[in-house]
Amino acid sequence: MNTATVSIFLDARRALKDGSFPVKLTVYFLGKKRHYKTPFKLSEDAYRKIQAPNLRDPDLKDTKNRLYKWLAAQQAIIKQLDPFDFDAFEKEFTRDERSTKTKFSLEQVQPFFEEYINRLRVQERIKTAESYQSALNSLVQFRRYLKFQDITPDFLSAYEVWMLTKKKSKTTVGVYLRSLRTIYNLVMQRGVVTYTQYPFKRYTIPAPRKSKRAFKDEQIKTIFNAKVDSDVHARALDIWRFSFLCNGINLKDIALLKWENITGDYMEFFRKKTENTKRDNVLPIRVHLNRHAQAIIKKWGNPSGDPEQYLFPILEPGLSIKEIENRIANLTRTTNKYLKRVGEQLGLPVKLTTYTARHSFATKLKNSEKVSLSFIMESLGHSSIKTTMDYLAGFEDDSIRKNHEVLMEGLE
């Protein structure tokens, strides 16, 4: 009677170069057992988590599914061997292991990209999914059947040059390659590739700093005192003012605000952009609604005050994710169109857009000696001081001029 059984265990006796441990297969038969290598490797923490019944991490879920699917294949081999014999099993197992490794080592990048894009869509991260799709389209155009083994520092450098010759910005190159790096990191966790192959430790993804678009105090005052002769321009201006007054809140988060976010003269919300991060104990962004912000809500907000009602009449219940994204995209496009016109009429030196409200908020606080960097960090919803410092990096033109004037002191 065939009584052979199989199980897996983590061989934690000696760590691999990337800090993980190999997952081993054990076959029991008539009081004897033998151990075999598998194509999988995991950290001790990851192995412990995949044993849990309520596993939530999507990457570990996928690894667990693939691991147990592979284990089921070994059980199927055993069922075919009647009577069971270790030597016969090893012939079949060795061939299966070899073919599995070959499959993994030659795996193409596109299916993993598409899997991740689908996951983003399920998580309702539509814009992020579209960004990853654009990255995939570009990479496939550069190398049609791209495989992980093809991704080397030389490949990444060649792709960067190719993108620049197509008049794409370094910012776009950086966005696309950071997407590729995310996919690479995910498949590395699954054991498809090893850290020794990791190309991003010898290639630096371009990350040019964005030009700063903050307004000075007198320009902000001009924006707040501006008078316009149409509702569409007035609404666009008030959206900018509300964003500036409310910690630089972006249009998507404005659209998603509900009356339940407001208690008295305070408002709390989580940034949609960081909603799906893995940070623990993320605190909401808390805003004091001064009389100017409250006046904007009174003027343009939904009047009901129902906690489940959207604060502004931009969205309504029952919309699909795609419809919500389209509404917000249209709002952003039309608001920026009218803001540009107003900015030109006011003679502002920087193009007036919704983004300038957020940066003007942060820069004004930065230039004040009364506000700490940690407060700015919390107000912007950043996860670290370093992120805030990078965001505020760079000096304004006036500071640069004054600092350069020191060069000639005592020389003229």
pLDDT computed for residue 255 by the predictor: 95
Q: What is the pLDDT of residues 7-21, one digit of tens each?
A: 999 999 988 877 888
Burial zone of 56 (CB within 10 Å; 0-12 exposed, 13-18 middle, 19+ buried):
exposed
- Residues 248 and 360: their CA atoms lie apart, in Å, by 8
Average per-residue pLDDT for the chain: 84
Q: Where are the beta strands (DSSP E) in 112-199?
A: none
* For residues 34-59, average pLDDT: 85
399 pLDDT more than 80: no
| Amino acid in position 253 | D
Note every long-range contact of 168-171, with CB atoms under 8 Å and residues 24 or more positions apart, other chains counting.
Answer: 169/208, 170/206, 170/208, 171/206, 171/208, 171/210
Q: What is the pLDDT of residues 18-28, one digit of tens each?
A: 788 899 999 99
267 pLDDT more than 50: yes
404 pLDDT more than 50: no
pLDDT higher for 258 or 102? 258
Under the banding of pLDDT at 50, 70 and 90, the label for residue 141 is very high
* For residues 330-342, average pLDDT: 95
Count of other CB atoms within 10 angstroms of residue 194 = 14
Share of the chain above pLDDT 70, in %: 87
Q: Which domains are seen in the chain, by residue range?
A: 5-105 (no CATH), 109-201 (1.10.150), 217-401 (1.10.443.10)
pLDDT higher for 309 or 388? 309
Which of the residue ranges 111-125, 190-204, 277-291, 396-410 would you say has the lowest mean pLDDT?
A: 396-410
233 pLDDT more than 60: yes
